[in-house]
Structure 1
């Protein structure tokens, strides 16, 4: 027995329930057994109930044993989930004759009703009944009926919409045990589909949350507002303490009967109470189901310490470079050399050739003079299984990059991929674990600290800026193309590492976040994911939480949020996309900054790259611009369904200083000092910079967004111009002045340049100076708001951990 917040959970008794069911050949509990489980879980007391077995004669005393004037009769069957639809639930007077009559009628009517349902939709029939029809189907359904459950009738306090609660546990493939709660009843799925995200139902990883924290998530739902009497005409029907107790019990059971618990005899695959109704401040389960299984052996033997060899190799091997054409292998060689990696530390496999571009060639793996830190495979997919076997057999490398596709993305290539996976897994079980493998279907890696680039994109297609400094960030993408296009479209993002994960044949997203969690080279980890390997979603979230606790920032985007999107990601990366709501909730709960679309991902990553060292005190925003529409747009953008900012109140000192600047610029007659602050199109570079500086040092301001009015004749915003007053290189220009302001401020300051391509040089110059620039004001405010909210949540996680 374990005790949680004075709640006793009798795990031995619950395990006995599972054991008894397993001895009967079942991997599920009947409803009355679920009530027994709840009674042992330390949560609310379930209603009293009595099983009336099929064929048994119940005495009057037994039929009168439950309290109250009515009883609820429920059919008990291993195959009938939705009992109400087939007449399997009835409320009858507590009279022995009426109970017997109703039971007999149910035992005949229910099989016939269920058979009719199956005939109308045979594709939904349980496996036991497929291929059956007519009397054979009815007889099979009737044979499986265990009897009728007689349950104590407990009338709910209210039958109004929203006064029922669903609470459940689910063992998910990617995230392990997940707890969920929300609007219950027969329309739960409809509510989840139609209500705004997080309003109908919430979910979280049992490993990363406790009852109190989950209650705080639940508090934001419509369900809580109804149950707590916070809507018009409603009254509270359950206490907060009851809800916390219930959630805590489910979470602790989820942790105990979890695939992550090495001592677990059983794993709960799915448990759901739908609904809980409420009677006189009692939580009453009206229906329940539970499916369980045995834990599967899980091992992660990947020697992920060798990711260090992958990202900072001393020796690089490469197979697949052509001597006659610029194939993928030759482009990879060109890019490695262009980054300055020493020729003498590159080893090419090419039979019959002494050297390519001054890099020495060797006929086969056996002839390599030493072990490679990293070996790049850029040959056809059909050659990969044999080559992987040889690399392992000769112990030729610590890490391997598998560039080829055709390794599991299609049905035809899955057998080939499986051979590779089996060989890799076997190697991981021997000696030092053999090499780690990145890919397959991998576009490569750019490691600025490691001084190499194995992307197979010609420099003519993607020019490289090798002169500007990189930032302490890593971009990890399951899709190489996503990373490539972001790099082309947003050169202002300058991560130290860009890693294409491909199919996760070996190394996973979780492995990579674990590596960067401990890296001294990285403060920001950005991840684009399409799917997780089994339980790697949980490993990933655990690593995210640990990275956040270590003071790092994680930006995350998950593709495959719709059924159509899931299908597309599966075909692309040979990995199944998981349920998006669960994924987003788990990753956000771990402390990551979660983007909803590609543009948000770019914006949030840009902010994280530039602001990891900035101080976040709160969500009070100062908005400044010489363009009136921008100040209005900024004010309009501080609230959304996903974040809430507030406009800061300027201090008296700031008000006075700003007034003095406006007086000096002869603008005081045109400007009223308030937030948002429209400083007029006549305001020059100095006015913009000095007012931004004042607000950045105001204790009542947590962040500043400043519109830079590129088209204003008072501003220096052009690169190639014959007009000195417009020259952005001027010492008195906004580019130089704002860079100095941002450098001095320990708070977030972002700029807006709402203009055409003529102002790209100005944007580039400010980005290179560490000033995040946005093309429109509402996008700036939205990104900054999301970033600040996520940073504040991450800080709350750290504070909670320190207690």
Structure 2
């Protein structure tokens, strides 16, 4: 936490606008600092009081015996600006500005006020949290610089979870969820408008806290990627999982986020790709942000995701298998030896294949759990377990079931979740330190998230060693120019990306010669750096079969281009390429995340079906192969109905080449659109048929 130590572990805190009333914004921090055991110095500032909540109160910063490291600015409106400037003048290190009414409500005048505060702070070497911040809370040190109502009924429940948010409410709502499950938090911080210290920068400092074992983020905007990239690197080095809830998936959500934070939202699919690239799990909603928390805190070292389900209900067994299939978690196939041992223990009407249905035998034999679980624990095919006990009344030895399950969990050291709807049953399992969920669907969902996230982190860490950390080139988009198709194809060919055989013809005679050299039939296309979409203007002619026709079409193309007042760069004569599937490869330079490469189903309906995957370079062939596997058309690549597989290796090479091109400053590529790229059978490669490249 060295970077922002004064924000997270200050030695002294002053409160401008301190109140005797702990239910007021200026009174809450004073109350919390005392309640949660802050060991540093506390300096309330209020010119109308001599004492606040038992502490000596001062008229101003100038009257303090020393410069505080942190100041909480709990005065409203424009008074906060003067308070911040006063802090900067008196050597304060961090100011937490709680006042609202700035950039979140007025993108012009409000932002200008924010800049005034930040500039004054930076001139003195001070940093600002906020404005519009609910505050910071470090329960590890007792530094609670927050006015959140949530903490009023909390005891000191220090844990190993950190929650950071741009929103005040969303910094504490997850804390409430976790408290219900008996999970404490160490940090919960709300940065507000991020005028200076952003949620990402603060998260990097929090991630360095060795007591933090899980870091949760709520983001409404990502104005820059630098700190999130640094956070991901620190987290991977520490083996610290990071889960992010990024709002604004829908257009309505993006508009709401803009009005809330005063910042523009990011294109959602690029956010997905960025998080995946860096090993950060993106939660779909609030439940997804917190529901698997206790699994992350168990210290398990999972080896895979093959699931074994055990229940006294056949329905729970079926529903567990359905839920696992829905999230792509395979049911383990138990070994013949395990099956034989189970058959020797269970009655004949019980099911020994996975899922294992104990039926009502559990009622007559309370030792069944204790008998079968050690057998299942030894099976090498099992990576994770779910035990479902939906109902168990009088006659069931639930205490023994829970005790045996806990022993089983310790024996395997593998992930184990419990599905128990009945409160009395759930409480027995919870008392043994087991992770209990109300339904098998919720249990599987949490287990899937945990296991998939750990796999994502492992893959990201492995790639980190092989991926060169290249900084994307800084290219201005202000003077972006489009290359004509011939120059676009030449740029690709120079990079080793296969393009269709072609010639640029600047005269009728050259068109005829090109036809004879390539051999018919050919494609003839008009070429102009002023025209991106040629088909709509009649500038594409397929199946030209004679030298005379090639000459006539050349003249027609010249006439169309000149008629539209566009530059005439010539006419392209190209071979009629063939392939099994039309693929699209595209790329653009996102203003926040840098180069982004898209690959997916191509052709004229590409914008209708939108079956594409995004990748952030640098990436490997394996990364591309994994992305292709997520497409709706993925099954076609392997060949169907007797067809041979397609040449995915060649396609992966081409996509990697585009990623490298986007990272090369010499290429000056701002965006490109390769559609179609014809993909053929294995061993026959792929070829770019049409290309448009924009350079900066």
TM-score when normalising by structure 2: 0.61
Paired residue secondary structure (1:496): strand
Paired residue secondary structure (1:575): coil
Residues 801 and 417 (structure 1), Cα distance of their counterparts in 2 relative to 1, 3 Å cut = closer
Shift of 1:704: 0.9
- The match for 2:212 is 522
Match of 1:595 among 240, 261, 283: 283
- What do the CA deviations read for 1:312-368 (whole angstroms, capped 9, x no partner)? 2222221223235731221232222211224x7211112242322222211101112
- The match for 1:795 is 458
Paired residue secondary structure (2:245): strand
- Whole-angstrom distance in 2 between the partners of 1:691 and 1:373: 60
Match of 2:188 among 498, 515, 521: 498
Q: Does 563-572 or 331-340 show the bigger shift?
A: 331-340
- The match for 1:679 is 358
* 2:78 maps to 1:369: no
- The match for 1:586 is 274
Contact 1:555 1:605 in 2 (8 A): no
Q: Does 417-426 or 371-380 show the bigger shift?
A: 417-426
Match of 2:264 among 576, 587, 603: 576
- The match for 1:670 is 349
- The match for 1:175 is none
- Whole-angstrom distance in 2 between the partners of 1:377 and 1:690: 63
Shift of 1:560: 0.7
Superposition pairs for residues 43-192 of structure 1, below 5 Å? Answer: none
Number of residue pairs the alignment of both structures matches: 462
- The match for 1:645 is 329
Shift of 1:646: 0.7
Unmatched 5+ stretches in structure 1: 1-303, 718-729
Match of 1:405 among 68, 81, 100: 100
Paired residue secondary structure (1:683): helix
* 2:139 maps to 1:419: no
- Whole-angstrom distance in 2 between the partners of 1:450 and 1:572: 31
Shift of 1:687: 3.8
Contact 1:709 1:715 in 2 (8 A): no
Residues 451 and 690 (structure 1), Cα distance of their counterparts in 2 relative to 1, 3 Å cut = farther
- Whole-angstrom distance in 2 between the partners of 1:703 and 1:750: 8
- What do the CA deviations read for 1:50-78 (whole angstroms, capped 9, x no partner)? xxxxxxxxxxxxxxxxxxxxxxxxxxxxx
Superposition pairs for residues 2-17 of structure 1, below 5 Å? Answer: none
Shift of 1:706: 1.4
Shift of 1:604: 3.5
Contact 2:102 2:113 in 1 (8 A): no
- The match for 2:197 is 507
- Whole-angstrom distance in 2 between the partners of 1:644 and 1:380: 51
Match of 1:699 among 362, 371, 380: 380
Contact 2:332 2:381 in 1 (8 A): yes
* 2:131 maps to 1:470: no
Paired residue secondary structure (2:304): coil
- Whole-angstrom distance in 2 between the partners of 1:552 and 1:308: 20
Contact 1:607 1:772 in 2 (8 A): yes
Contact 2:130 2:193 in 1 (8 A): yes
Residues 367 and 483 (structure 1), Cα distance of their counterparts in 2 relative to 1, 3 Å cut = same
Paired residue secondary structure (1:470): strand
- The match for 1:747 is 414
Shift of 1:740: 4.4
Paired residue secondary structure (1:375): strand
- The match for 1:629 is 315
Unmatched 5+ stretches in structure 2: 467-696
- The match for 1:708 is 389
Shift of 1:594: 1.4
CA RMSD in angstroms comes to: 2.8
Paired residue secondary structure (2:204): helix
Paired residue secondary structure (2:14): strand
- What do the CA deviations read for 1:526-576 (whole angstroms, capped 9, x no partner)? 11111022xx23531343144224422111111011110011111112222
- Whole-angstrom distance in 2 between the partners of 1:372 and 1:689: 60
Superposition pairs for residues 21-420 of structure 1, below 5 Å? Answer: 305-323=2-20, 326-342=23-39, 345-395=41-91, 397-411=92-106, 414-420=108-114
Contact 2:30 2:44 in 1 (8 A): no
Shift of 1:482: 2.0
- Whole-angstrom distance in 1 between the partners of 2:76 and 2:114: 14
Shift of 1:709: 3.1
Contact 1:624 1:692 in 2 (8 A): no
Paired residue secondary structure (1:638): helix
